[in-house]
Amino acid sequence: MISVAWVTLNYFSNEWSKLPVICSAILEAIGVKNIVGAHAQSSLLEGTAYAIGAPVIPSYMPGNHMLHNVSKNLTLLSASQAVIDDTNYFVNRVINILFTYLSWYFQTSVASTADRIMREKLGSSATPIWDTVANMSWILTNSEPLLEFGKPTLHKVIDLGGIGVHKPKPLDELRFWILQHKSINTMQTFQKWDKALSLRKHTVLISFGSVAPCIFMPIAIKKAIAEVIRSYPNVTFIWKYEEPKDASFSDGLENLLLSSWTPQSDLIG
């Protein structure tokens, strides 16, 4: 275990922390003044926004909240990771308010527990977590401004889309479903990703990550994508599709590779 004394002797002038910063007591003990907070998986969360004074106006600021199922586990995302559009319908406003509260409650619950433990161990003089957040130099978010709905913000909030993307790894041997004129069920094969990228001069990756499973797309959209793929026979298309066996809409596409999982960062890195 690393002691506070060791950290103090090695002296750190800056600290980068994932929010909410539950190690604020250690930072205070070693005298770190310049702290940079980060939301590595989302845009600015509501608890952080309230702490630093950023506007949170669910009546017209569209949230990004949604309940979604990833690997059969129900996951609650914050109101700042939304599927609600920027219309002013009453239902949208109610949903925004609900999930804004849930996001704020989640963050403050974690922070309150950490504050209670710090007071027990360090006494009442321990600086509350949200005070530490309020005095941070910058807040980094995993958000792409060009894809976000417009909203008021602060200069200390820096949007860095892709901040959580890991360093690309070598492409390993993974499973593909290659769709040709034959039956899907008989076309299971194995090949390396780098070989798939060399099948044609150009390769296009179609992936919506784990947040938006393609199997739930309306069939009309799937067929439209298939027709676009068909119109570019000299381009290889890799499509992250969760159920490759259930893809009859793409029969006959020789330039389409379906895979239930794709190393997206490695492919585009």
**How many C-beta neighbours within 10 Å does residue 200 have?**
15
Please report the pLDDT score of residue 142 as a whole number.
83
Flag whether 166 is in a domain: no
Phi then psi dihedrals of residue 254, to 5 deg: -75, -20
CA dist., res. 88 & res. 57, Å (int): 12
Average pLDDT of 50-64? 77
Please report the pLDDT score of residue 87 as a whole number.
62
Statement to judge: residues 90 and 207 lie in one domain:
no
Structural domain boundaries enclosing 132 = 3-159
**How many C-beta neighbours within 10 Å does residue 88 have?**
10
Flag whether 256 is in a domain: yes
Phi then psi dihedrals of residue 237, to 5 deg: -110, 125
Contact 70, 210 (CB under 8 A): yes
- 192 by Cβ neighbours in 10 Å (0-12 / 13-18 / 19+) ranks as middle
Which of 55-64, 82-91, 170-179 has the lowest average pLDDT? Answer: 170-179
What is the band of 16 on the pLDDT scale with cuts at 50, 70, 90?
low
Hey, which of 18-32, 104-118, 190-204, 220-234 has the most confident mean pLDDT?
A: 220-234
CA dist., res. 205 & res. 76, Å (int): 27
Statement to judge: residues 243 and 200 lie in one domain:
yes
Helix (H, G, I), strand (E, B) or coil at 206: strand
Please report the pLDDT score of residue 232 as a whole number.
94
Flag whether 257 is in a domain: yes
Of 108, 139, 159, the residue at which a domain comes to its end is 159
> DSSP label at 163?
T
Statement to judge: residues 136 and 33 lie in one domain:
yes
Statement to judge: residues 197 and 217 lie in one domain:
yes
- The set of residues, in sequence order, having a beta carbon less than 8 Å from that of 143 and lying 6+ positions away, is 42, 43, 44, 159, 160, 161
Statement to judge: residues 124 and 238 lie in one domain:
no
| 141: β partners | 39, 159
Hey, which of 74-78, 203-207, 208-212, 227-231 has the most confident mean pLDDT?
A: 227-231
Of 120, 135, 159, the residue at which a domain comes to its end is 159
Name the domain count of the chain.
2
